[in-house]
Structure 1
């Protein structure tokens, strides 16, 4: 049941948070944006409302699978740890058990999300990359100015993007930035599930075993904020590595990307998009956990 509940929660979360995710990726990959509002304004002027939803179809299609694997892996890993340590899967887990299970959940999702993350980032940034390429192109010689060049988008959609990346960059291109993604999701999902469990315990009324809907909303939202707080530095590096394949390559790998980014923009670059991530994380994870808990309680009620 955890797999089904996780799938429903993941789809709801993507539907709520995708526009802000697009803004976040633009801020992280483009040095000209010094805040959220300039990025939102430029994106709307250039691409209107549709620009906020570029690359949405693939995340929606994969969200159910990824979220299902994340919550299912966490639940089953925690049950096995409790069975081994305490003799029963229903025993109350220690904080270390929750942390380890959350970390395992983060590691598992990397293998599923890396290709879709590459496609999402490329689609979210390709309009800006095209504009910069046109700006750098030298004008034709002669008395008359060169005619404006208006090439079509390089990627026509998520599947075309994945096929193009696989053809031009091979399998490694589909997993570009996966090491940064692994570093991001391992400790962030450990924080995610641990903080949710602690907050749910604190917000559960006396005499009850579970928090009410308001408690789940608050715990889920706060867990999402804490998880993205620790994840943002590696999320910046991940986005830059994955967007790097659209033009002249700047980064040789994860460490080179970290060093080059900090040298050019200072240590604050690793916090780019932090405020936006936190603003997005609260409502998204409120929805994710409420949907997850609702499906779990519904199915348990039907089975009993």
Structure 2
């Protein structure tokens, strides 16, 4: 009882890699819609990226999240699964007792808090790389500002160089720009991620089966992802804007200032930019993540049993 199970971390790593491969193109579209200018609606944004940057434009900044988000998800799934198991075992004397809402909520919130430690820098670098190719300039910029912005757009040669530039210019704290908004997004966001997945998966599992089928896992994971990412959009917009801030000057002083300026300049609808992309992207990403996670856990368990 209470022993950490490494299998959850390994399976989470594989699930994270699968989710990045499936979801990164739409993640690029989401970032451009939320922090870019002149893209209009989702369809127009996709067309502009394709026309200006070809298919490769949708995969900008993918190498870093592919390597790092796999580790990020390894930690998130490992922390969540082990925390949920630990809480459940200490709250219930009956070890066969089904997981209740309190267990799932506490484990999800802990996973959300821990996720920011790794996910903050990952998201920051990813968004910097995604945004530096943006060609539309803000209205009213002087020639010097436009020149500076163009220079910024061509500054980062890759993720390692991006990290080096941030550390040199802003120090270690610069790697956690937008962390406050990320906490406000991820702590409730993971509750609306793991809890629906758990209950939908149980509901889809037939009574005579001990474990859910691959289809049940895929469907439950996809639905949970769409719900979680859709509801997280307002704070996701704030986080993205804070992390993309500084293209040519520092615009926002913090979360509250970003919300205030965004609302005053663009109205309430600005906080729902990328909502459609988030919801659509959330389904295949999370479906791939949970399916890979559960299948990996099953394979690891089978291997252990065969080795014994």
Q: Same fold (TM over 0.5)?
A: yes
Give the corresponding residue for 1:291: 292
Q: Does 1:46 align with 2:47?
A: no
Unaligned runs of 5+ in 1: 140-148
The residue number in structure 1 matching 2:229 is 228
Q: Residue 58 of structure 1: CA displacement? A: 0.7
Q: Distance in 2 between matches of 1:116 and 1:254?
A: 19
Does structure 2 retain, via aligned residues, the 8 Å contact 1:79–1:90?
Answer: no
1:78 is matched with: 84
1:245-290 alpha-carbon deviations (Å, 9 max, x no partner) = 2211111110000011011111111111010011111111111111
Q: Is the 8 A contact 2:219 2:287 kept in 1?
A: yes
Tell me, yes or no, if the aligned pair for 2:39 and 2:48 is still in contact at 8 Å: no
* Mean CA deviation greater in 19-28 or 97-106: 97-106
Give the number of equivalent residue pairs: 295
Which consecutive residues of structure 2, in runs of 5 or more, have no partner in the other structure? 1-6
Measured in 1, the distance between the counterparts of 2:43 and 2:11 equals 35
Structure 1 residue 34 displacement after superposition: 2.4
The correspondence for 1:132, drawn from 129, 137, 146, is 137
Preserved CA contact (<8 Å) 2:116 2:179:
yes
Aligned counterpart, 1:96: 102
Paired with 2:215 and 2:54, the residues of 1 have a C-alpha distance of 35
2:182 maps to: 181
- The list of structure 1 runs, each at least 4 consecutive aligned residues, that deviate by more than 4 angstroms after superposition, is 149-152
Contact 1:82 1:88 in 2 (8 A): no
Give the Cα separation in 2 of the matches to 1:36 and 1:101: 34
* Range that drifts further, 39-48 or 199-208: 39-48
Task: Classify 1:117/1:89 alpha carbon distance in 2 versus 1 (closer, same or farther; 3 Å).
Answer: farther
Aligned-partner Cα distance in 1 for 2:246–2:160: 16
CA RMSD, aligned part only? 2.0
Aligned-pair distance for 1:302?
2.2
Q: Distance in 2 between matches of 1:174 and 1:242?
A: 9
1:133 CA displacement: 7.6
- Aligned mates of 2:63, 2:143 — CA distance in 1: 36
Structure 2 partner of 1:277: 278
CA distance in 1, matches of 2:111, 2:37: 33
The TM-score with structure 1 as length reference comes to: 0.92
Q: 1:65 aligns with which of 45, 60, 71?
A: 71
CA distance in 1, matches of 2:297, 2:150: 51
Q: Scaled by the length of structure 2, what TM-score is found?
A: 0.91
Q: Secondary structure at the match of 1:136?
A: coil
